[in-house]
Amino acid sequence: MNIEKLLRDNIRQLQPYSSARDEFKGEASVYLDANENPYNAPYNRYPDPLQWKVKEQISQVKDVAQENIFLGNGSDEPIDLLYRAFCNPRIDNVVAIEPTYGMYKVCAGINDVEYRKVLLDENFQFSADNLLTACDLYTKIIWLCSPNNPTGNSLNRKEIIKLITSFEGIVVLDEAYIDFAKEESFMEKLSKYPNLVILQTMSKAWASAAIRLGMAFASTEIIAVLNKIKYPYNINILTQKKALTILKNHGQLKKSVNLILKQRTILINALHDLSYVLHIYPTDANFVLVKVENPTTLYQYLVEKSIIVRNRNTVSLCNGCLRITVGKPEENKILLEEMEKFGI
């Protein structure tokens, strides 16, 4: 696996921006190096460009070395940076499962990179061979998402491993929902696969979508590339401080995840009793994909009742489907009451 060779030439040759904070890293008493205003501490100072304190905590919680962690402004940032690092616009392409999370395609569009979709099967599973068939010499990245959004299921582990070991480019495995899943994360396999990038986020199980903190885990070589091309101060000090308190309090995560998983079972059982519910797909995430008789009428009815779910009716293989996030007990109760009324 030669990551260097996969890179775009301009990125390989790039001389990155060197900030005042990069040049002097120790502790000093007088800082006159960055043209900061001396007043209004601590917000007057540029934040740590590599967020070492946050990474130290993540390293403990996730049992991964700090050098294998990249932090971004949501997962969206590493998604975009991976295109910018590896894909020559109008020349290279990427391959992705379909349906899946929309940002992989949007970022391909922004970067003028061809996006090749390979349809999942009727169980929302993929075959490594099918994805590899869609690849050519110009395929730089394959996008996987497990548990997948909007389908909710975990992808087959054997196929994931087969793909990582046979593809000679980057495989991105988006684990945004992994803390809700029965399946184990691929994190412990990270050192085995130099072409694997795992994405996780503070936005779902960590209950902190507002602070915008996405995590990418990969070989030191890939992490170094992302660090080289990111904006120098991509994670602001408010986010870094808040992330530290959330991570130090990580006992909370299991509690809220368990609460949500219990509510998910209650929600699924109640949905089963509705006559117009045609199918509830198995889920490993904090949402359920539900096939109903009149998706758009139901969606509109719920909007009128001030309840918003996601209409996925026009998404590939999701004909007739709404995606419902598991909320608080009282929120799920309100949803179910209205859905029962809609049936009458």
Ligand X SMILES: *Cc1c(COP(=O)(O)O)cnc(C)c1O
Interacting residue ranges for ligand X, rule: CB under 6 A: 74-76, 101, 145, 149, 174, 176, 201, 203-204, 209, 214
Per DSSP, helices labelled H in the chain are 3-6, 9-13, 20-23, 52-62, 76-86, 103-110, 128-133, 157-166, 220-229, 237-248, 251-272, 295-304, 329-343
Which structure tokens are listed for 168?
A: 């000679």
Task: State which residue, 92 or 174, has the beta carbon closest to ligand X.
Answer: 174
Residue nearest to ligand X (CB): 74
Tell me the three state secondary structure of residue 130: helix
Instruction: Pick left, alpha or beta for residue 112 (phi over 0 → left; psi -120 to 50 → alpha; otherwise beta).
Output: left
Rounded to a whole number of angstroms, the minimum distance from the CB of residue 221 to ligand X is: 23
Q: How many residues does the chain have?
A: 344
Rounded to a whole number of angstroms, the minimum distance from the CB of residue 201 to ligand X is: 3
CB within 8 Å of 321: residues ≥ 6 apart: 150, 281, 289, 290, 291, 292, 295, 312, 313, 315
Instruction: Pick left, alpha or beta for residue 275 (phi over 0 → left; psi -120 to 50 → alpha; otherwise beta).
Output: alpha
Q: How many CA atoms lie within 13 A of 59 on its CB side?
A: 12
State the DSSP code for 179: G
Rounded to a whole number of angstroms, the minimum distance from the CB of residue 34 to ligand X is: 29
Quote the CA–CA distance of 320 and 317 in Å, as a whole number.
Answer: 9
Task: State which residue, 149 or 219, has the beta carbon closest to ligand X.
Answer: 149
Instruction: Report the DSSP beta bridge partners of residue 170.
Output: 141
Rounded to a whole number of angstroms, the minimum distance from the CB of residue 226 to ligand X is: 15
Q: How far is CA 209 from CA 4, 118, 212, in A?
A: 33, 29, 6
State the DSSP code for 32: -
| Backbone phi, psi, residue 204, to 5° | -110, -90
Task: State which residue, 201 or 332, has the beta carbon closest to ligand X.
Answer: 201
Tokens 């999701």 belong to residue:
318
Rounded to a whole number of angstroms, the minimum distance from the CB of residue 285 to ligand X is: 8
Rounded to a whole number of angstroms, the minimum distance from the CB of residue 174 to ligand X is: 5
